[in-house]
Structure 1
Amino acid sequence: MLLDVLGAAQDLGRVQDLTSLLIRYGFGDLARRLGLGRALENAGRLLHWAEPEELARLEPPQRIRRLLEDMGPSFVKLGQILATRIDLLPQDYIDEFCKLQDRAPPLPFDTLKAVLEQDLGAPLEELFAEVDPTPVGAASLSQVHLARLKTGARVVLKIRRPGVRKVVEADLRLLKRLAEIAESRIDEVRRYRPIEIAAQFSRTMRRELDLAAECRNAERVAENFADDPTIVVPKVYWRWTSERLNVQQFIDGIPGRDLASVEASGLDRKLLARRGGAAVLKMVFEDGFFHADPHQGNVFFLPGNRVAFIDFGMVGRLSEARRRELVDLLQGFVERNPGRAVDILLQWAKHDVVDEEALTTDVDALIDSVHSVPLKSLNLPRLINDLVALLREHNLALPSDLALLTKAFISLEGMGRQLDPDFDMMATAEPFLKDLILARYSPKTLARRSRQGLGDMIEVMSGLPADLRKLVKQAQSSNLKLRLDVEKLGEVGDKIERGAARLALALVTSALILGSSIAMTASGGRLPVDVSYFAMFGFLGAMLGGVWIILSIWRGR
C-alpha cells in the first residue's frame, strides 16, 4: 500500500491534491500505476473527473507544463530543473518547460512585516528610512520589496514566504518516494532517471529556501571579479541577512530584455555582449563556479558599458577534474580522436550499459562534421546540442553539473545574440580554452599533480606494513576469507546446468533405446500384455528425447 511506502500520513492531503490534478490532466493511468488510486480509496475519497475539452486538445509537452503549474511552486521549480536536462528530454519538452514562470500572487505586506521584524529583531522604522509595501516581484518561495537604509542607500529585501518550507519539504518527501516507485515499476519512465532528477531537485530547492545561501554565492562571484570594474555584483548587507531574509544592493540599470533603452542610452551592444559572455566563460573555465541561469531577466546594463548579474539562487560548480574532462573531450574533437571523446562520455555515463562500438561510430561521424573547422569558427552551442542528441540516442545522461553548464551556455548564447546578432561565443571562449589546455601542462600544474601523486604513494606505502601485519594475523587465526566476484559467473553456472540437463536426458534416451530393444526381443514370451507395445513407446520416447537434445545443442551453439 502506498501509505506504507510514503510513511507519512500527514502528507495524505497533498497526495490527494496531486492525484486529482493527474486525473484531471489525463494521467489517471500513471496515478494508478504509482499506487495512488489505492491510497485515495483507503482515505475514502474517489475521483470521477472528466477531462476538459480544452486539455484534450493540448500536446503532451503543453499538458505536462500546465500540470506542473497547477501542482504548485515545488513542481514549477521541478519543471525548471527539467528544462536544464537537454540530455534526457526531447527539445519540444525543453522548449515548453522553459516557459514555466515562477510567479505567485503577492502576500499583503502586513503578513510579511511580522516575519521581517522577528528576523531583524527590531521594528522596521528603526532600521530603514522607508520600505515600499508594494512588491516588485512575487515568486513561489519569496517576495521582493524595495527599501532605503538610514544612510540613504537603496536596497532590495527578499523575504521568504511564511510556511513555505513545510509545503516544500512535504513535496520533496512525496517526490522522492514517487520517483523510487516510478523507477522500479514503470519501464518507460526509468530511462529518464527519476531518482537522480528528484535528488538534484531536492538539493536545489533546499539551497533556494536558504536566502542567505544566495548571498554567499553572490559574494563568491564578486570576489572572483574584484579586479574587473566592468562586472558588477550586488553588495550584500550581512547585518540584516538571514535564512528567511536577504538584503542586497539595488541595481539601478537597464534590464537585459529592454534593448530599446540600451540603444537609446548609447551603450555599445557589441561590447556588452562580449563582456557578458567573457564573464560567464570566466566563471565556468577559470573559477569553476558560475551563474547557471544568465538570462535577460538576471542581467542589467550600467553606464560605462558595465554588466551587472543578479539572482544567484541557481549556480553551477565544476571541479578541476571536470574541467580537465571537458578539455579532453574538446581535444578529442579537435584532434579527430573519437576514442578519447568516447572514454570521457562513458566515464560520465558511469554504470549505464552502452554499445561502445555504435557510440564510437556516431561520435566519429559527429567529429567529421566539425573537423577542419578552426576553433574560432566552431559553433559551440550547436556542437553541444548535437552531442546531447547523440547521448539521448544512446540512453546516456550527463552529470547534473554538466546539465547546468549546457543550460548556462544556451542562455548565454541567446542573450549574446539578442544584443549582437554577430555574437560568436566560440570566439569569446577560445582564449579560455587555450589557457586551460596550456595550464594542464604548465610546470606549476605538473609539479602540483606530481606532489599529489607522490603524497598518495607515500600514504599507501606507509600503511602497507600495518595492512600486511593485519593480513598475516587473520591468516594465522583462520579468519582470512577470500571473496571472488567474477563477472558473468551466473551465466556460466546456467550453461553448466543446461549441459548437465542435456547429459541426463541423453542417458535416459540411451536407457530407453536399450530397454526397448530388450523388450522387443522378449516380446515372443507368454505375458499378459504384448511387450512389443512397451518397446514401441520406449523407442518413441527415445526419439523425442534425441530430437530435443539436438535442438537444444543447436540453439545453444
Structure 2
Amino acid sequence: MSKLSAGIKGAFRIGQTVRILAQTGADWLMGERPPAPILLRQTFERLGTTYIKLGQFIASSPSVFPDDYVAEFQLCLDKTTPVPFYTMKRVLEQELGKSLETVFAEFDPVPLASASIAQVYAAKLVSGEDVVVKVQKPGVENILLTDLNFLYVGARILEYFVPNLSMASLSAIVDEIQKGMLAECDFYQEAKNIADFHKFLDETGNTQATAPKVYEQASTMRVLTMERFYGVPFTDLESIQHIVDDSESTLITAMNTWFSSLLFCDSFHADVHAGNLLVLKDGRVGFIDFGIVGRIKPSTWESVSKFIYAIGQENYREMAEAMLGIGMTDEEVNTDRLAQDIEDLYSRMDRVMPDVDLSAGDMASVSEHEVNKVMMDLVGIGKRHGIHFPREFALLLKQLLYFDRYVRLLAMESNIYMDERLNITPDMDWNMIH
C-alpha cells in the first residue's frame, strides 16, 4: 500500500471515528444516557475492530481498570458481520499469488466464524487434506494503526491535563495494546506459536495432545491454513463419553500438557475456553487458536507454581502467600485476612455451581461468564489488600479458572488435584529447565 493510499484511508478512518463519537454525543444530549460503562462499551462496538479489541483488553485487565468497566466489557463480543466472500477471495489470491482453484480443491464461501480481525473458512487442499483457512480482513492493519495512533495522542493529551490519573500511564497502556493487536495481525507469529507448541510436545514425548499442522505453502502473514480438527469441546460431557472411556484421564492429559507448557514451551496458550480445547475423534486432546499466548517471567515462576498448586489443594493460606509473591505492594498485608477472603470467595462459588444445569450448552456459557467473574473477584480481593498484579497474571489466572471449571464438569466425584497422574508440583525449578 502506498503512503498516499494509507494516508487517505487513515484520514477517512479518523473522519469515521469522529462521526460515530459525534453521534454518541448527540444521542446523549437527546436524553439517551445509559451508565458510563455501558455507553462506552456500546460506542466501542460501533467503532469496530480496534475498539472491540481494546474492550477485550479492558475485560481481561481487572488490575488496571475499574471493576464496573471490566464487568461491562465482558459483554464485548469479538463477532462481526462477515465481509463478502468476493472481497475475501481477492485478499486470498493477492496473498497467495495465485488463483484459489490452484491451491484448494474445495472452498466453502460461508465462513465458519467472523471476528474483528479475520474470518475462518473450511476448505480442502488440492493434495486432499481438510483444512481451515484464517483470512485477515482487508485494511485491518491500517485501521489498527490509525486508531491506536489516534488513541495514543488522546492519551498523552489527557495525561497532560489530568496528571494525577489513578491508573497507570494511559499512553503506556495504549502502547502495550498496540503491540498485542499488531502481533495478532501477524499470522507468521501465530504459526510460530504453533510450531513452538509442537516442538514442546515432541521434546516432552507427549503423544496424547496435539495442535493443528500449518500448511506453509498456503500461508502468508495474512492467511493461515491449518489442519482441520474434528472433535467436541471440553464442555460436551455426553459426546466426550462416546469418544473415550475415561473422561478424567483426558482432562488430566489436557491439564498436564498445559501446565508443562508453562515451563517447557516458549509461551503458553492463553485462551483455553471450551471452543479452543477439543477431544478429537481419536481420543487425543487438541489445542487450537494460538493467536493469543502469554509468557511467564522466570522471576515470578516460583510464586505462580505455588499458586497453581495451592488452587488444586484448596490451600487458601498458600494461595494468599503466592499472590503476595506475584503482585506488588507498598504496604503490609494481613495474610490471614487475605486467605479468609479467598476462602469466602471459593465457598460462594461452590454454593452457586451445584445449581447450574451442566448440560453442554449451559456449561459453555457458565464457563465464560463465571470464569470472568471469579477472575475479577480474585484480583479485586488482592487490590483491596493493596496488591497490584501484572496483567499477565490475570491472563494466566483466567486459564486456571477454565481448567477448574472443566474439573467440576468432568471429575465432580473425585479430587483430581490429588490424582497421582496429575503432574503439578510447587517445587519446579525454572533454572534447571532453562
Kept in 2, the 8 Å contact 1:325–1:344? The answer is yes
Unaligned runs of 5+ in 2: 1-6, 344-370
Give the alignment partner of residue 76 of structure 1, picking from 44, 48, 52.
Answer: 52
Q: CA deviation at 1:297?
A: 1.6
Q: How far is the alpha carbon of 1:254 from its aligned partner?
A: 1.8
| SS of residue in 2 equivalent to 1:225 | helix
Which among 184, 208, 219 is matched to residue 195 of structure 2?
A: 219
CA contact (8 A) 1:291 1:316 kept: yes
Is 1:172 matched with 2:148?
A: yes
Give 5+ residue unaligned stretches, structure 1. Answer: 1-7, 29-47, 372-380, 450-557
How many Å separate the matches in 2 of 1:267 and 1:331? 27
1:197 matched to 2:173? The reply is yes
Question: Does the alignment pair 1:409 with 2:400?
Answer: yes
For residue 111 of structure 1, give the secondary structure of its aligned residue in structure 2: helix
2:227 maps to which residue? 249
- Identity rate, percent: 27
- How far did 1:422 drift? 5.3
Q: Quick check: which has more Rg, 1 or 2?
A: 1
Match of residue 322 from structure 1:
300
Instruction: Name the structure 1 match of 2:325.
Output: 344
Higher helix share: 1
Query: Alignment partner for residue 337 of structure 2, among 356, 365, 377?
Result: 365
From the superposition, tell whether residues 51 and 254 of structure 1 become closer, same or farther in structure 2 (CA, over 3 Å): farther
CA distance in 2, matches of 1:203, 1:428: 40
How many angstroms does 1:234 deviate by?
0.3
Q: How does 1:368-517 map to 2 (within 5 A)?
A: 388-393=379-384, 397-421=388-412, 427=418, 432-434=423-425, 436-437=426-427, 439=429, 445=432
Q: Distance in 2 between matches of 1:332 and 1:231?
A: 25
Q: 1:149 to 1:267 in 2, by over 3 A?
A: farther
**Aligned counterparts, 1:90-105, within 5 A:** 92-105=68-81
Distance in 1 (alpha carbons) for counterparts of 2:309 and 2:410: 30
Q: Secondary structure at the match of 2:279?
A: strand
* 1:151 equivalenced with 2:119 (yes/no): no
Distance in structure 1 (CA, Å) of the matches to 2:111 and 2:320 = 55
Aligned equivalents of 1:390, 1:128: Cα separation in 2: 52
2: distance between equivalents of 1:303 and 1:162?
A: 35
Aligned residue pairs, count: 396
Question: CA separation in 2, counterparts of 1:60 and 1:232?
Answer: 44
Q: Which moved more, 1:257-266 or 1:224-233?
A: 257-266
- Partner residue in 1 for 2:106: 130
User: 2-side partners of 1:187 and 1:293: how far apart?
Assistant: 35
Go from structure 1 to structure 2 and tell me whether the alpha carbon gap of 1:432 and 1:274 turns closer, same or farther (over 3 Å shift): closer
- Tell me which amino acid in the other structure corresponds to 1:293: D
Q: RMSD over aligned Cα, in angstroms?
A: 3.8
For residues 180 and 279 of structure 1, what CA distance do their matches in structure 2 show? 43
> Residue 260 of structure 1: CA displacement?
4.7
Aligned to 2:213: 235
Helix, strand or coil at the partner of 2:122: strand
Q: State the Cα distance separating 1:123 from its structure 2 match.
A: 2.0
Pair 1:337–1:225, CA change in 2 (3 A): closer
TM-score by length of structure 1 reads 0.61
Preserved contact between residue 215 and residue 246 of structure 1 (Cα < 8 Å): yes
2:366 corresponds in structure 1 to none
Question: Do 1:288 and 1:317's aligned partners in 2 also have CA atoms closer than 8 Å?
Answer: yes
Q: Secondary structure at the match of 1:134?
A: coil
Query: Equivalent residue of 2:400, what SS?
Result: helix
Name the residue aligned to 1:468. none
Query: How many Å separate the matches in 1 of 2:152 and 2:229?
Result: 38
Q: Take 2:239 and 2:318, find their aligned partners in 1: how far apart are those partners?
A: 48
Deviation at 1:24, TM superposition (A): 4.8
Q: State the 1:165 CA deviation.
A: 1.2
Tell me: higher relative CO, structure 1 or 2? Use CA pairs within 8 A at least 6 residues apart.
2
Deviations 1:332-378 (A, max 9, x none): 99797999768735xx54xx8x3x23xx23x342246679xxxxxxx
TM-score normalised to structure 2 length: 0.77
CA contact (8 A) 2:307 2:319 kept: no
Matching residue's letter, 1:405: L
Question: Do the aligned partners of 2:416 and 2:422 also contact (CA within 8 Å) in 1?
Answer: no
